[in-house]
Amino acid sequence: MGETIRYGLVGTGMMGVEHIQNLLITPGTELVAIADPVATSRGWAKSALGGKPVREYQSAEELAAAGGIDAVIVASPNHTHRATLEPLFKAGVHILCEKPLATTVPDAKWIVDQAGRSSKLFWTAMEYRFMPPVAEFIREVHEHKVGRLRMLSIREHRFPFLVKVGDWNRFSANTGGTMVEKCCHFFDLMRLIVKSEPVRVFCSGGMDVNHVGERYEQGVPDIIDNSYTVVDFENGVRACLDLCMFADGAEEQEEITAVGGEARLDVFIPSGNLVHSPRVGFMNPKRVERRTVEVDEAALKAGSHHGSTFYQHQEFANAIRTGHPPLVSAHDGMMAVAMGAAAERSAAEKRVVTIAEMLG
């Protein structure tokens, strides 16, 4: 590999285009090949490239067989990830695979096994880790800014799922369910922040507002649009996820709160505000500290994930060049899938589900 990393991209829908926009501002990278079975989607990619030449294919198999690439980004629909990855593992290229890693735990386990056998970098794309305000929040929690962490809560109140090609994201069979598709981000953050493994999950959720009454060729949508999920970790920390997919009027889309024996720490997205609230005792004056974590303007403009895709690409490219291990491994991706799948099962069966049960 020369100084420039040559990329291929499989899946040129909305997230694929976001990856293109961020590669364009990542030094030492070049997108040389794209693959998507839908001509309209390939057209979106070519438009994002602004006329720069790129080889076009209809499948990951064709892209892999053609060669001439060092790394591949997988941004195809969730349920296609395993089949998409098979020829890429055989081709011996570095891989950045979009979340969720897979829609089922068995498929995720297979990917972990294949990644472990490969000499190339495998990276699960968990953008939320790389939002600068969230990264700073995590750093401060790990530096004991709240004392010993006892409770973690994450709230995402946002807009409904966007329309995708063929409406594939309206059905749990294609996505793994909302708690896998959307919430794998937050389950990944929980493990990262808590520094422990999940033991049991309880989720209460349903489809109450979005997609009610909708009908598609595949049938009736079956994806959760609101839920509360509680996760117990091995080290005794409790974490809670509050999800609402019909709250697009909320000022802050994500709010993360860590509480320890000494203080509370909050981060808010998209404002980027970080709020530290030490304990002061009953009726004593508050000593709240507020600051805003800035994000590079070009990174913000290159995607819809608060600049995180840009920062993730810098780290991914650096790991390729230096041989450093991935910051988000295939195992990390699998655990997020297992937690999401446990939440889906818990909501459906109205019971506590253990992670041991999910991992077999």
The pLDDT tens digits of the residues spanning 269-283 come to 999 999 999 999 999
pLDDT per position as a tens digit, 53-106 = 999 999 999 999 999 999 999 999 999 999 999 999 999 999 999 999 999 999
DSSP string, 90-131: HHT-EEEEESSS-SSHHHHHHHHHHHHH-SS-EEEE-GGGG-
Q: Report the chain's mean pLDDT, rounded to a whole number.
A: 97
Q: How far apart are alpha carbons 20 and 130 in whole angstroms?
A: 17
* CATH fold label, 129-296+335-359: Dihydrodipicolinate Reductase; domain 2 (3.30.360)
pLDDT band, residue 316 (cuts 50/70/90): very high
Residue 237 has pLDDT above 60, yes or no: yes
Please give the radius of gyration of the chain, using alpha carbons only, rounded to the nearest integer.
20
Percentage of the chain surpassing pLDDT 70?
99
Residue 5 has pLDDT above 60, yes or no: yes
Percentage of the chain surpassing pLDDT 90?
96
Determine the number of helices (DSSP H) and then strands (DSSP E) in the chain: 13, 15
Distance of CA 73 to the CA centre of its chain: 14
Q: What is the pLDDT of residue 178?
A: 98
Same topology between domain 5-126+311-327 and domain 129-296+335-359: no
What are the sequence ranges of the domains in the chain?
Answer: 5-126+311-327, 129-296+335-359
pLDDT band, residue 211 (cuts 50/70/90): very high
Residue 1 has pLDDT above 80, yes or no: no
Q: What is the pLDDT of residue 332?
A: 98
Residue 217 has pLDDT above 90, yes or no: no
279-289: average pLDDT = 96
pLDDT band, residue 2 (cuts 50/70/90): low
Q: What is the pLDDT of residue 298?
A: 95
pLDDT per position as a tens digit, 29-56 = 999 999 999 999 999 999 999 989 999 9
290-317: average pLDDT = 96
Of 1.20.1730.10, 3.40.50.720, 3.40.50.300, 3.90.10.10, the CATH number of 5-126+311-327 is: 3.40.50.720
141-147: average pLDDT = 98
Bond from prior residue into 37 cis (ω within 30 degrees of 0): no
Buried b (16+ CB within 10 A) or exposed e, 211-221: beeeeeeeeeb
Residue 244 has pLDDT above 80, yes or no: yes
